[in-house]
Amino acid sequence: MKQRILGKDLQVSALGLGCMGMSHGYGDARDKKEMIELIRRTHDELGVTFFDTAECYGPYTNEELVGEALEPIRNEVKIATKFGIALKDFKQALDSRPETIRHSVEGSLKRLRTDHIDLYYQHRVDKQTAPEEVAETIAQLMKEGKVLHWGMSEAGAETIRRAHRVCPLTAVQSEYSMFWQLPEHEIIPTLEELGIGLVPFSPLGKGFLTGAVKRGQTFAANDFRSKVPRFEQENIDKNMVLVDFVTEIAQRKGCTPAQVALSWVMAQKPWIVAIPGSTSWGHLTENFAAADITYTDEEMRDINARLSQITLSGHRYNADSQKNIDSGY
């Protein structure tokens, strides 16, 4: 697996593994032993060194899974986790007070079976706690050696600047894909200016870009897509034009739609490291093979010109979740 650098010096595999879906978000949790084996094989056979989890996934159980899976190879991998969200029935309560962060980091260290977190994100911006105060708390944790690098998730450009001035950020996590390109307006230019990496989650559009989501499809109540406007049946039907376009590119490149979606994200900037997730070994091997797909400048200009002509329907969050997104994003 090729390597990329986030921020100044965090070296990770060019694609990481998002572990959330193994125990949270997409229906019932998968078998723990099977997922532990899957995570280890992803490292041993595919060369993946970057693994993403969060305190609220489960909650807590995903960190426990990742910690157990990576304990034997801890010094060979980088672990990213997150603080700041209490979650119940997909409803978020945000809290990034200094005392909460300190409580969270101790819990994450224990569950992850480690003495340090390689990349620690503020999961969502807490509008009741200034970014500077969050950054100061993280700076203290870094001095103590408990956190090596830090980042923010779904933060607006001004919030990123305010936090970065106090304690330089290594990465910002954001949804970014052919299915959601808004970060190109302000976030990506800001990160490029400040030397901060981008870690896109849902680079496969929550499965949509792979072609796995079909017209008329419905989702179980414990699948968060059941509450996402873009996955309402009417919007699925309208947005199939994008799936058709991705499939067209895949046929031309001799690869799969999933590989097109991932390689497109990677091609936008050399400091972007996407974190696709899967619970299937077949899908994982397919996903990570995308790291070897390249495009000519002419190919990418044509693809992006065509993308700009596609208008997608439905928002990516429902009203309850959207209110917790940082202003200006």
How far apart CA 246 and CA 283 sit, in angstroms, is 17
Residue 87 has pLDDT above 80, yes or no: no
Among 76, 54, 75, smallest CA distance to 65 is for 54
Residue 37 within any structural domain of the chain:
yes
Residue 324 has pLDDT above 90, yes or no: no
- Give the amino acid at 316: R
Residue 258 within any structural domain of the chain:
no
How far apart CA 325 and CA 329 sit, in angstroms, is 7
Among 1, 24, 22, 25, smallest CA distance to 13 is for 1
Say whether the peptide bond before residue 59 is cis (omega within 30 degrees of 0).
yes
CATH classification at residue 285: 3.20.20.100
Residue 133 within any structural domain of the chain:
yes
Domain count across the chain: 1
How far apart CA 158 and CA 328 sit, in angstroms, is 8
The residues near 260 (Cβ < 8 Å, ≥ 6 apart) are 209, 246, 249, 250, 253, 290, 293
Residue 327 — very low, low, confident or very high, per pLDDT cuts 50/70/90? Answer: low
Average pLDDT, the chain: 95
Residue 323 has pLDDT above 90, yes or no: no
Range of lowest pLDDT (81-85, 159-163, 318-322): 318-322
Positions marked catalytic: 57
Could you read off the pLDDT of 116-155 as tens digits, one per residue? 999 999 999 999 999 999 999 999 999 999 999 999 999 9
The enclosing H or E element of 33 equals: helix 32-46
Q: Coil, strand or helix: which one is 93?
A: strand
Residue 256 within any structural domain of the chain:
no
How far apart CA 143 and CA 52 sit, in angstroms, is 23
Residue 329 — very low, low, confident or very high, per pLDDT cuts 50/70/90? Answer: low
Residue 69 within any structural domain of the chain:
yes
The angle at the Cα of 69, spanning 63 to 75, to the nearest 5 degrees, equals: 95
Residue 90 within any structural domain of the chain:
yes
How far apart CA 46 and CA 65 sit, in angstroms, is 19
pLDDT at 91: 78
Prediction pTM value = 0.96
Among 279, 312, 232, smallest CA distance to 28 is for 279
Domain containing residue 179: 3-204+268-293
Characterize 269-292 residue by residue with b for buried, 16 or more Cβ atoms within 10 angstroms of its Cβ, and e for exposed.
eebbbbbbbbbeeebbebbbbbbe
Residue 190 has pLDDT above 90, yes or no: yes
Mean pLDDT of 15-34: 95
How far apart CA 249 and CA 290 sit, in angstroms, is 13
pLDDT at 200: 98
Range of lowest pLDDT (2-11, 22-31, 41-50, 66-75): 22-31
DSSP code, position 291: G
| Percent of the chain clearing pLDDT 90 (strictly above) | 92
CB atoms within 10 A of CB 145: 9
Residue 46 within any structural domain of the chain:
yes
Residue 326 — very low, low, confident or very high, per pLDDT cuts 50/70/90? Answer: confident
Residue 216 within any structural domain of the chain:
no
Helix 32-46 to helix 281-288 angle, to the nearest 10 degrees? Answer: 30
Among 47, 33, 103, smallest CA distance to 78 is for 47
